[in-house]
């Protein structure tokens, strides 16, 4: 099997440090798929990146067939099959994700030309750095020759948070929960929707029997989980983010593992009334390495309103990002 080249930007950061060994252990592409890691950092973090490389050597991962560590985005992007964009500045306590906007969107404007020019033509990208949806939007805008289906953002962490909360509430393993949906932005306006989800094959609402909880505390817990982790750790989520990046790419590239659908931030085609071109989290199904938005779900009036709130925030973020780049 030829090795797959996987780029991690911001590779010496918290998420990068958690993600590199997961990929090298086969959690992203399966236990038989060799990988070559392309690790990008900025010059001030070059020495830290050298340390990460030493550790990758020392761990002697059987699937790791090479490492390209660099501070040059063109070198980092050369021939990559998969790109995980994590490089950027994380949110600190008291900040909203849009507070990291101006610094981070300019990073995504500048890396867009490298990925467009140097990656494999069928590269698959996931943007993790916040504001994740809007950074992905900017990446797509400044890499106009790339297939718009190649650029996604991570909302799988929010999806997995929903699964974790439902499983804990029902006292069942996570694998019993399926069909939850994160709509919209990876922010506190996201809409975690359980209306199409199941526990052990039965509707979540029937099993939980507590609509007030599912429409109240459950929603706010998921929406504010990132902030709760920052408050507790004084650092933003890292192991759960890295693990969710692996899930996002594995279900996209390798297969759905029997899941009904998964939440992915993807470029809207106008489905469910969402502005075409925005990067919005939808329920997606993946087959043969291609995602598609799940169509035809019944959306009640309350859901419609919540989907619209997060839609509006994304339109505002898009305009703010474009004004930061002027
Ligand atoms: P971190 O500060 O630990 O690491 C970020 C790394 O990016 C640093 O090592 C930094 O040197 C590097 N970097 C900065 N500018 C860069 C550039 N232009 N090119 C390449 N690398 C660059 O942060 P972290 O905790 O790893 O988080 C990374 C990002 O992911 C943050 O924006 C955070 O808010 C976001 N995040 C998103 C999700 C999600 O679910 N979408 C979850 C958790 C964190
Ligand atoms: C998260 O959801 O954990 C991250 O996006 C970090 C944050 O800023 O909330």
Residues lining ligand 1, CB < 6 A?
A: 9-10, 12-16, 40-42, 45, 86-91, 107, 128-130, 132, 154, 157, 186, 236-238, 241
Q: Which of 94, 131, 237 to mutate to test the pocket of ligand 2 (most atoms within 8 A of CB)?
A: 237
10 assigned ligand-binding residue: yes
CB crowding 200-229: b at 16 or more within 10 Å, else e: eeeebbebbeeeeebeeebbebbbebbbeb
Burial label, 34 (beta-carbon count in 10 A; 0-12, 13-18, 19+): middle
The whole-angstrom separation of Cα 242 and Cα 9 is: 13
Question: How confident is the model at residue 93, as a pLDDT?
Answer: 78
Q: Which residues are catalytic?
A: 186
25 assigned ligand-binding residue: no
Beta carbons within 8 Å of 25's beta carbon, 6+ residues apart: 61, 63
Half-sphere exposure in the Cβ direction for 269 (13 Å, CA): 8
Q: Is the peptide bond before 131 cis (omega within 30 degrees of 0)?
A: yes
14 assigned ligand-binding residue: yes
Residues lining ligand 2, CB < 6 A?
A: 91, 97, 130, 157, 226-227, 229, 236-237
139: its two tokens: 């990446």
Q: What are the structural domains, with CATH classification, of the chain?
A: 4-153 (3.40.50.720), 155-320 (3.90.110.10)
- What number of H helices and E strands is found in the chain? 12, 14
Beta carbons within 8 Å of 23's beta carbon, 6+ residues apart: 6, 8, 29, 35, 37, 246
Q: Mind listing the pLDDT tens digit of every residue in the chain (326 residues)?
A: 999 999 999 999 999 999 999 999 999 999 999 999 999 999 999 999 999 999 999 999 999 999 999 999 999 999 999 999 999 987 777 777 667 888 889 999 999 999 999 999 999 999 999 999 999 999 999 999 999 999 999 999 999 999 999 999 999 999 999 999 999 999 999 999 999 999 999 999 999 999 999 999 999 999 999 999 999 999 999 999 999 999 999 999 999 999 999 999 999 999 999 999 999 999 999 999 999 999 999 999 999 999 999 999 999 999 999 988 88
**Strands of 257-314, DSSP E:** 262-267, 279-287, 290-293
Q: What's the CA-to-centroid distance between 86 and ligand 1, angstroms?
A: 5
Length of the chain measured in residues: 326
ipTM rounded to 2 decimals: 0.99
13 assigned ligand-binding residue: yes
In 3D, which of 122, 100, 89, 101 has the Cα closest to residue 10? 89
Pairing of strands 198-199, 191-193: unpaired
Q: What's the CA-to-centroid distance between 1 and ligand 2, angstroms?
A: 36
Question: How confident is the model at residue 168, as a pLDDT?
Answer: 98
> Cβ–Cβ contacts within 10 Å for residue 42, how many?
14
The whole-angstrom separation of Cα 51 and Cα 187 is: 33
Task: Determine the Cα angle at 90 with ends 101 and 9, to 5°.
Answer: 95
Contact of 247 with 215, CB cutoff 8 Å:
no
* Residue with CA nearest ligand 2 atom 5: 226
325: its two tokens: 């780049």
């Amino acid at each position: 099997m030829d090795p797959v080249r996987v780029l991690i930007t911001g590779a010496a950061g918290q998420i990068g440090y958690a993600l590199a060994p997961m990929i090298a252990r086969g959690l992203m592409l399966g236990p038989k798929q060799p990988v070559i890691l392309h690790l990008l950092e900025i010059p001030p973090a070059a020495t830290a990146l050298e340390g990460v490389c030493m550790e990758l050597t020392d761990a002697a991962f059987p699937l790791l067939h090479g490492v390209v560590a660099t501070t040059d985005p063109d070198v980092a992007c050369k021939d990559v099959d998969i790109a995980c964009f994590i490089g950027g500045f994380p949110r600190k306590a008291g900040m909203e994700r849009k507070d990291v906007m101006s610094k981070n969107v300019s990073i995504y404007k500048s890396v867009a030309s490298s990925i467009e020019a140097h990656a494999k033509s069928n590269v698959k990208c996931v943007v993790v750095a916040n504001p994740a949806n809007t950074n992905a939007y900017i990446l797509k805008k400044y890499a106009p020759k790339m297939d718009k289906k190649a650029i996604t953002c991570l909302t799988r962490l929010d999806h997995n948070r929903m699964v974790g909360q439902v499983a804990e509430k029902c006292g069942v393993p996570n694998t019993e929960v399926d069909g939850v949906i994160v709509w919209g932005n990876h922010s506190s306006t996201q809409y975690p929707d359980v209306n199409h989800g199941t526990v052990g094959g039965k509707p979540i609402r029937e099993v939980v029997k507590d609509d007030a909880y599912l429409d109240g505390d459950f929603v706010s817990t998921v929406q504010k989980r990132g902030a709760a982790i920052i408050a507790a750790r004084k650092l933003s989520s890292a192991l759960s983010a890295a693990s969710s990046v692996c899930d996002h790419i594995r279900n996209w590239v390798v297969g759905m593992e029997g899941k009904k659908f998964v939440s992915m931030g993807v470029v809207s085609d106008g489905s469910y009334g969402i502005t075409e071109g925005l990067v919005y989290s939808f329920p997606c199904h993946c087959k043969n390495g291609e995602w598609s938005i799940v169509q035809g779900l019944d959306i009640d009036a309350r859901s419609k309103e919540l989907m619209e709130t997060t839609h509006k925030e994304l339109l505002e973020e898009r305009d703010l990002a474009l004004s930061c780049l002027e």
